[in-house]
A and B are shown apart, each in its own frame.
Chain A
């Protein structure tokens, strides 16, 4: 399309990218993130089903790194490198899905509470405050203990407990946007609730929501691995948290099997750090006041 609106949008996007690229941390984050995504997509091509099958394990129990097994083996004799690479898939998917669910709930609650005042807003705010101070891990543990299942349950448990921060942010932004004169103009011209919310409030809240989602993915990945480490979710799924649980329960700590304990943990830290760096860089770009400070 060549309409002036699209030209302006393209120019804005270009400006955002140039400013983002000036942030070294953000660029490093994007590169690391890209590598993880690539690993997740290519994993089925590089790794055969049989190398993940306990019954067809070729190595010995807790073998230290060698030519055959660059990162040694786990308690079943499977390659830790293969398992860690495969674990990227679920960690990434669950982290993203949980973050999107959480921000989706948060944005809906935030816009509703900000746009409609009165009792609806009061009830929603009371609810948000309650969930905000709740130790979210405790609730997530309780939820995933009660609901049976694998990755889906974990996504639900994390999404349902972690939305309040984005709800508060979005509500504040909604209030601020609706106080501006152009909203009054839109209303005077006969714009209803739907028009104001979808045409005016939502577009101006979106950058904030985007930044929030990026930052939320990191938190969600940590939460996911924590729930897995505590033994929640299905044990047949290969995840970083699940690997570390097997490692510590099979005595890898006392055995000093660093090749089993370090790789999944380092993978978690790198991926979370990458999302955090990208999120912070985006925040700086989309928030000029922050940019001049940092």
Chain B
């Protein structure tokens, strides 16, 4: 039996030695290659995930509805499920390359077109929330780490933990109940929204207040805790002692020396956690009937619209894969230590 209390972290730090050689091009190629692999895996997964069940998607779509055998056969023929699976897979691949995600069962329209319509509102909502949450989380994280174990640290780390434990959609429901009279309760614009650019933007912003607020509260805690840990990691470094020995004020040591180093790993984490933002946005959109991909997911689930669900799945995952690629490249541009290794 080994020592039960073996320090975990000390050992984790011993990563395999970094490989020497290979310039920027090779790094980029590896990362792009990895992303392409991931996209291919998503595409394959997207196809087989919706066909793992005995029977076929038509059986699932019509589950719990009175359908005759002839109607089932017709639906199968319509969606091409009567063909051999490999032929179906080939058609699916060719379709995807042409931007064809199949036909939505509930909307009776191409899934790709419906998803395209809903992409903008989701980007607006989750983008705004992610930026605000990152700003709030990084700022609080840096403050709490620098004055660790102070009153601010104790209070705000506790609050962050509580918000982290709250399901975003429930927070949305509660806020809706409290502030539903003051702010619009759903949708992205009023039925009589003004057409001029600025008043229209204000109308949309008014509708965004509650969903963005909900999403920010749901995700900022993660950023705060990561930033706090990252800065604490730097706190005992020798270069900070040097900076202090030079006679720099505490404020300068923090802003010019500690923060930039702590910020780098956190930046990538912000991008890596975008999947979490997407997950949060799905349910928050459903609560506030925000006309984005999240609400579309809820609608597709309600209607058991598998082709649409498959399309949303592929689009969301590919978006996250691309954001991660951006994060990897960005980190290399920003951080000389990554370039050197």
Which A residues have a C-beta under 8 Å from some C-beta of B?
5, 9, 12, 15-16, 126, 129-130, 133-139, 141-143, 145-148, 169, 172-173, 175-177, 179, 182, 200, 203-204, 207-208, 218, 222, 225-226, 229-232, 241, 244, 247-248, 253-254, 256, 258, 261-262, 265, 268-269, 272-273, 276-277, 286-290, 293-294
Contacts and interface: CB of A to CB of B under 8 A. Distances in A.
Given A133-B272, A133-B275, A256-B177, A208 B301 contact: no
A293 B176 CA distance: 40
A290 B60 CA distance: 49
B180 interface: yes
Contact of A138 (B37, B60, B165, B317): B317
Contact of A230 (B9, B180, B301): B301
Main secondary structure of the interface of B (DSSP, over half): helix
B306 A130 contact: no
Interface stretch (B79-87, B116-124, B167-175, B245-253): B167-175
B182 interface: no
Chain A binding surface SS class: helix
Contact of A172 (B15, B49, B324): B15
Given A9-B4, A176-B11, A288-B5, A248 B301 contact: no
A111 to B, nearest CB: 15
21 contacts: A135-B278, A135-B279, A137-B283, A138-B312, A138-B316, A142-B50, A142-B309, A142-B310, A142-B313, A146-B50, A173-B12, A176-B12, A207-B4, A226-B169, A226-B279, A230-B298, A247-B173, A253-B173, A261-B174, A262-B174, A294-B148
Q: Rank and list the top 3 A-B pairs by shortest CB-CB distance, nearest first.
A: A176-B11, A137-B279, A135-B275
Nearest to A275: B165
Given A138-B316, A146-B49, A146-B52, 10 more contacts: A9-B1, A130-B41, A133-B320, A135-B275, A138-B282, A138-B312, A172-B11, A276-B165, A286-B5, A289-B7
Interface of B: 1-12, 14-16, 34, 37-38, 41, 49-50, 52-53, 60, 63, 148-149, 161-162, 164-167, 169-170, 173-174, 176-177, 180, 185, 232, 272, 275-276, 278-279, 282-283, 286-287, 297-298, 301-302, 304, 306, 309-310, 312-313, 316-317, 320-321, 324
Contacts of A176: 11-12, 14
B280 to A, nearest CB: 8
A25 B38 CA distance: 40
A88 to B, nearest CB: 16
A200 B275 CA distance: 36
Given A136-B275, A293-B232, A265 B165 contact: no
Given A222-B165, A248-B173, A143 B49 contact: yes
A148 B63 contact: yes
Given A134-B317, A244-B170, A289-B7, A232 B1 contact: no
Contacts, number: 178
A133 B11 contact: no
A172 B49 CA distance: 30
Nearest to B53: A146
A93 B148 CA distance: 37
Given A276-B164, A276-B165, A289-B9, A253 B176 contact: yes
A268 B170 CA distance: 10
Nearest to A254: B180
Contacts of B63: 148
A230 B283 contact: yes
B49 A133 contact: no
B8 A226 contact: no
